[in-house]
Amino acid sequence: MRILDRFISTSLSSLPRGPFTATIQTRFKKPANTAQTRLETRTRDPKLDLLAFHHRRLALILSLYSLVSAKKRGPFISLQLLSRWAPHAGVNTLSAGEFLRKYPHVFQVFTHPVRRNLCCKFTSKFVELLKLEEEIVCNMEDVNVIKIRRILSMSVNGKVHLHAIRLMRRELGLPEDFRESIIRKHGDIFRMIDLEIAELVDWNENERAFSCSAEVEKWREKEFREKWLSEFETKYAFPINFPTGFKIVPGFRERLRNWQRLSYVKPYERVDKVRVRTCGGVERYEKRAVGIIHELLCLTVEKMVEVERLAHFRKDLGIEVNLRELLLKHPGIFYIATRGNTLMVFLREAYVGGCLVEPNTVCDVRRRCLELVLQELDCLM
């Protein structure tokens, strides 16, 4: 049957147009317009793509560090055992030996004095930076309490599964034992319902005592005060920064202007039920999801996170939408980097030229760790 269809299609396409073939209809396949095609044809930002690639390399090294540091025999591991552990850390494309030779200042290879086999350990400089980051994070207890409190305040019913926060622990700048050192320690604010579910102690009273606004409100107030824009223009607007080379089609500016003016339920506002089927209900529901994702990215240390990790907040925060498609709809607010095996979303307003606009102490330490990795690449080149 397929051969017959192919023969008919080729024979019809080869027929010349004339009086006897004018009534034959020729079918044209409509080009696919899916999230994958939009992801492939989007306007790229090479600097953010390169930054995502470097962070992916650093994440692989940190996953190996967690495996080696969990070993009780000592702060080193044999290359034979590391080759077996490497796939669990995500190192699938290279062997363990090639991976170590690629970053000689991060890994130190030596011969065991007794067993006479090749072993490796992390350099003292790299370990000192990781310990410094851990110390800084532990000293930021008050900031971390506010972060978790904000996440719980954005939830539908004041409850969040801890596995979602645990997956974003490093991006949020939380300590490894945040359940014990933050949630259980501050029993007047948080309460553990289950081993993996935390909630605010008194959600209604907590709302009155802890009235917070989203980070984007600071930008809106600044736009209203400095640029003398009307409240109608800035009350529900978001900062827009399109990448270089972004093509603006006819009618796009008008649609963007209307979307910026569209009202929505803000992340920390309570809503019993979102009416999606009302006039503009879908757009308002999606704009609320954009506001929640924007606020989550503002709470992160480096204003970026993997898209897959954001998906674990969908049910708790009430953003049950296709996240990748939603992020691709707003290229002026978010940017998805695909260089590597994972999708990384960046907050565009927080980056200029591939660098953070407002870095913090944790970012400085991580940048120094990344510089160690990049020095190795420069040495090999």
Average pLDDT over residues 207-219: 74
Would the pLDDT of 247 be above 60?
yes
Confidence of residue 42 (pLDDT cuts 50, 70, 90): confident
Helix (H, G, I), strand (E, B) or coil at 201: coil
Contact residues for 94 (Cβ-Cβ < 8 A; gap 6+)? 102
Would the pLDDT of 13 be above 60?
no
% residues pLDDT > 90 (the chain): 37
Q: In 10 A of CB 121, how many CB atoms? A: 16
**Per-residue pLDDT at 60:** 84
Would the pLDDT of 352 be above 80?
yes
Confidence of residue 4 (pLDDT cuts 50, 70, 90): very low
Q: Which of 45-49, 98-102, 277-281, 364-368 shows the lowest mean pLDDT across its residues?
A: 277-281
**Per-residue pLDDT at 347:** 94
Which structure tokens are listed for 255?
């649609």
Contact residues for 327 (Cβ-Cβ < 8 A; gap 6+)? 293, 307, 334, 336, 345
Predicted confidence (pLDDT) per residue in 292-331, tens digit: 999 999 999 999 999 999 999 999 998 888 898 999 999 9
Q: Which of 4-18, 145-159, 268-282, 343-357 shows the lowest mean pLDDT across its residues?
A: 4-18
Bigger pLDDT: 275 vs 10: 275
Which structure tokens are listed for 286?
């999606």
**Per-residue pLDDT at 94:** 56
Confidence of residue 376 (pLDDT cuts 50, 70, 90): low
Q: What is the dihedral of CA 162, 138, 181, 186, to 10 degrees?
A: -100
Would the pLDDT of 20 be above 60?
no
pTM for this predicted structure: 0.83
Gap between the Cα atoms of 244 and 46, Å rounded: 10
Bigger pLDDT: 288 vs 93: 288
Order of strands across the sheet that contains 334-337: 304-306, 344-347, 334-337
Tokens 């019913």 -> residue: 157
**Per-residue pLDDT at 275:** 56
For 306, phi then psi, to 5°, come to -70, 140
Average pLDDT over residues 35-46: 78
Gap between the Cα atoms of 85 and 58, Å rounded: 17
Q: What is the dihedral of CA 126, 342, 309, 182, to 10 degrees?
A: 0
Predicted confidence (pLDDT) per residue in 361-373, tens digit: 999 999 999 998 8
**Per-residue pLDDT at 280:** 61
Bigger pLDDT: 297 vs 245: 297
CA 332 and chain centroid, separation: 16
**Per-residue pLDDT at 74:** 65
Predicted confidence (pLDDT) per residue in 125-157, tens digit: 999 999 999 999 999 999 999 999 999 999 988
Would the pLDDT of 12 be above 50?
no
Among 368, 362, 326, which residue's Cα sits nearest to residue 343?
326
Tokens 């009307």 -> residue: 230
**Per-residue pLDDT at 7:** 41
**Mean pLDDT score across all residues of the chain:** 81
Gap between the Cα atoms of 16 and 182, Å rounded: 76
CB 82 within 8 A of CB 120: yes
Average pLDDT over residues 328-348: 88
Contact residues for 120 (Cβ-Cβ < 8 A; gap 6+)? 76, 77, 78, 79, 82, 100, 107, 108, 109, 110
For 187, phi then psi, to 5°, come to -70, -15
Tokens 């495996």 -> residue: 67
Gap between the Cα atoms of 173 and 238, Å rounded: 25
